[in-house]
């Protein structure tokens, strides 16, 4: 709070470092996968773009959770009870078109569905959801997380005694 840099620089530093770690991990996994499967990426620049915005958004979410959590148990609450179920119910292992119509509509309320669809489109050229809508949802998630982070720094929420 007493550093001679602005909160924007602090956010860029913390979130940038976390996002770069995630991007590097993702690219290493992608590189290693080329040794095991025949993989052709239709839109490689879109993969990098989706990877960057997704990593930045989830890094912001992690920053928010880290500020909010009092201890390690609370820190693990959101990833275990929110992010993991949303990931498994996002259609990453199946197409949501295989679900009955009611559950398709329920699945569309899951924001992770749109993340998966962006990557699926950029790799294979097809998606269950329009890519523009997916990008809008990811962008909205990023902006909401960024807004909350800026609010935390402006108000000093849990940063000051």
Per residue in 26-84, pLDDT tens? 999 999 999 999 988 999 999 999 999 999 999 999 999 999 998 988 889 888 998 89
Residue 26 included in any domain: yes
Asked if residue 40 is part of any domain, the answer here is: yes
Number of domains in the chain: 1
What is the pTM assigned to this prediction? 0.87
Question: Does any domain span residue 137?
Answer: yes
Q: Does 2 map to a domain?
A: no
Is 53 part of a structural domain of the chain? Answer: yes
Residue 160 maps to a domain: no
Q: Nearest Cα to 90, choosing from 48, 130, 126, 118? A: 118
Determine, yes or no, domain membership for 63. Answer: yes
* 33 is a domain residue: yes
Structural domain including 57 reads 7-155
């Amino acid at each position: 709070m007493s550093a001679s840099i602005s909160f924007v620089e602090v956010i860029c530093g913390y979130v940038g470092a976390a996002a770069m770690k995630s991007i590097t991990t993702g690219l290493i996994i992608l590189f290693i996968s080329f040794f095991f499967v025949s993989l052709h990426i239709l839109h490689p620049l879109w993969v990098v773009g989706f990877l960057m915005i997704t990593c930045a958004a989830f890094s912001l979410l992690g920053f928010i959770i880290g500020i909010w959590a009092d201890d390690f148990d609370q820190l693990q609450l959101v990833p275990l009870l929110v992010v993991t179920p949303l990931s498994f119910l996002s259609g990453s292992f199946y197409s949501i078109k295989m679900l009955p119509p009611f559950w398709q509509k329920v699945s569309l309320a899951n924001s992770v569905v749109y993340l998966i669809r962006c990557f699926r489109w950029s790799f294979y050229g097809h998606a269950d959801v329009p890519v523009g809508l997916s990008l809008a949802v990811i962008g909205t998630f990023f902006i909401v997380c960024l807004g909350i982070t800026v609010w935390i720094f402006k108000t000093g929420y849990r940063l000051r005694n």
